[in-house]
Amino acid sequence: MRQSDLFTKTLKESPSDEQALNAQLLIRAGYIYKNMAGAYSFLPLGLRVINKVNQIIREEMDSIGGQELHMPSLQKPDLWQKTDRWSDNNVDVWFKSNLKAGGEVGFAWTHEEAITDLMKQYISSYKDLPFFPYQIQTKFRNEMRAKSGIMRTREFDMKDLYSFCATQEQHDSFYNSCAEAYMRVFSRVGIADKTYKTFASGGAFTQFSHEFQTLAEAGEDIVYINEEKGITINEEVLNDVDLQKEFGISKEDLTKKKSIEVGNIFSLGTKFSEALNLSFTDTESSKKPVIMGSYGIGPARLMGTVVDLLSDESGIVWPESIAPYRVHLIAIGEDNSQANSLYNKLKEQDVEVLYDDRDVRPGQKFADSDLIGIPTRVVISPKSIEAGGLEVKKRTEKDAKIVTEQELFDMLA
């Protein structure tokens, strides 16, 4: 991509009403546009990143038996009345609308009801189980506060997976493999070392659910950690449990930290299958409700977390795995012919490259490059040519080095 053609431009200032670091940087660097509080556009650069995040999530969900589908946002009230989740008194995040043809619809803030109802058509026997459908799909939530940039919006894509199992063993086994798959996702986007599987409030069927909490000052959550024992507990459950009895620790053994909930996994038991009548016949021909779980990740929240954690004073620092491009090629000087030729060779080798061919000062090109945060910067200038080639610098490193074209391609191989 030639930067002169990229329709977004870097900005000197971020909007004055934008408090969150993730959104400030992403707006300034041209990844996102704030349409209104809690609703952002993903511009070409931002879309490339979020697509890569989604692809990593897809690969990990597919690796544990997930099957992708896509459900509508529009929801009919009667389904949600059966689970007591239609009323605004019970659920405070609904967006709803009236149909011209009469009646009401809601915009899905989650999909347990929709998927459970759908599965009734396909599950009748234990032979039909287990099944692990998932989607990456828009959720609408009338969040009270939307001040964390892309980490808490009123319209966002969520990866939501639902598990349908015949036995508790089947469920527990999937629950654990999903927890492992989540950690692989967080590892691939470069935040595993700061992300903790955390005990969170459960539901009707289990004492705890698990959240994946990433330590960050920008976080809206608070967790208590004991590194030695590998135990992390959300503040919300701290007061309700006997720490000594459950975990063999006391509050003094725990360190308080701010964190971001990047994902969660939840055992639902038979709450939804009983309310919506999703059952199967087991090996003894007796009828039983299906055992369910739900598993969410917010890709944009994940992207915002990566920006928040890995950026420095000059801008964003993407890990290779989700960077919009691998190489930022910068041409300096009057004559772009060598840079043009390298750009074409990189494209031929399928290296994703953003090429700064703009007619602007070198200082601005370097500053923009740091702000945009592509992992490898390659400069061709009269100076680099005189020194024998290309000047290469990693975004994470201070010093550049001169390499030949061949050495560059070896590095990228």
Contact set with ligand ATP (CB under 6 A) = 110, 141, 143, 152-153, 156, 158, 261-264, 296-298, 300-301
At its nearest, how many Å lie between ligand ATP and the CB of residue 380? 40
One-letter identity of residue 293: G
* CB of 141 or CB of 365, closer to ligand ATP: 141
User: 381-405 burial by CB neighbour count: b if 16+ within 10 A, else e?
Assistant: beebeeeebbbbbebeeeeeebbeb
Is 33:7 a contact under the CB 8 Å cutoff? Answer: no
Minimum CB distance to ligand ATP smaller for 210 or for 365 = 210
Residue 106 or 298 having the CB closest to ligand ATP: 298
Taking the least distance from each CB to ligand ATP, the nearer of 152 and 188 is 152
Question: Which CB sits closer to ligand ATP, 263 or 389?
Answer: 263
Minimum CB distance to ligand ATP, residue 1 (Å): 28
Q: How far is the CB of 304 from ligand ATP (least distance, A)?
A: 8
Sign of CA dihedral 259, 263, 269, 270: positive
Question: Minimum distance from CB of 217 to ligand ATP (Å)?
Answer: 16
Q: Is 43 or 390 the residue whose CB approaches ligand ATP more closely?
A: 43
Closer by beta carbon to ligand ATP, 113 or else 143: 143
For 150-177, b/e burial (b = at least 16 CB within 10 A) is bbbbbbbbbbbbbbbbbeeebbeebbee
Give bridge partners of residue 57 from the DSSP assignment.
none
Which tokens in the block code for residue 344?
């074409």
Beta bridge partners of 39: 36
Q: H/E element holding 51?
A: helix 44-63
CA distance 112 to 114: 6
**Amino acid identity for residue 3 in this structure:** Q
- For the bound state, the minimum distance from the C-beta of residue 285 to ligand ATP, rounded and expressed in Å, comes to 36
What's the CA gap between 232 and 225, in Å, rounded? 4
- CA angle 117/119/124 to nearest 5° reads 120
Q: How far is the CB of 315 from ligand ATP (least distance, A)?
A: 23
Least Å distance between CB 243 and ligand ATP?
22
Tokens of 254: 């725990």
Least distance (Å) from ligand ATP to the CB of residue 261? 5
User: Between residues 14 and 213, which has the closer beta carbon with respect to ligand ATP?
Assistant: 213
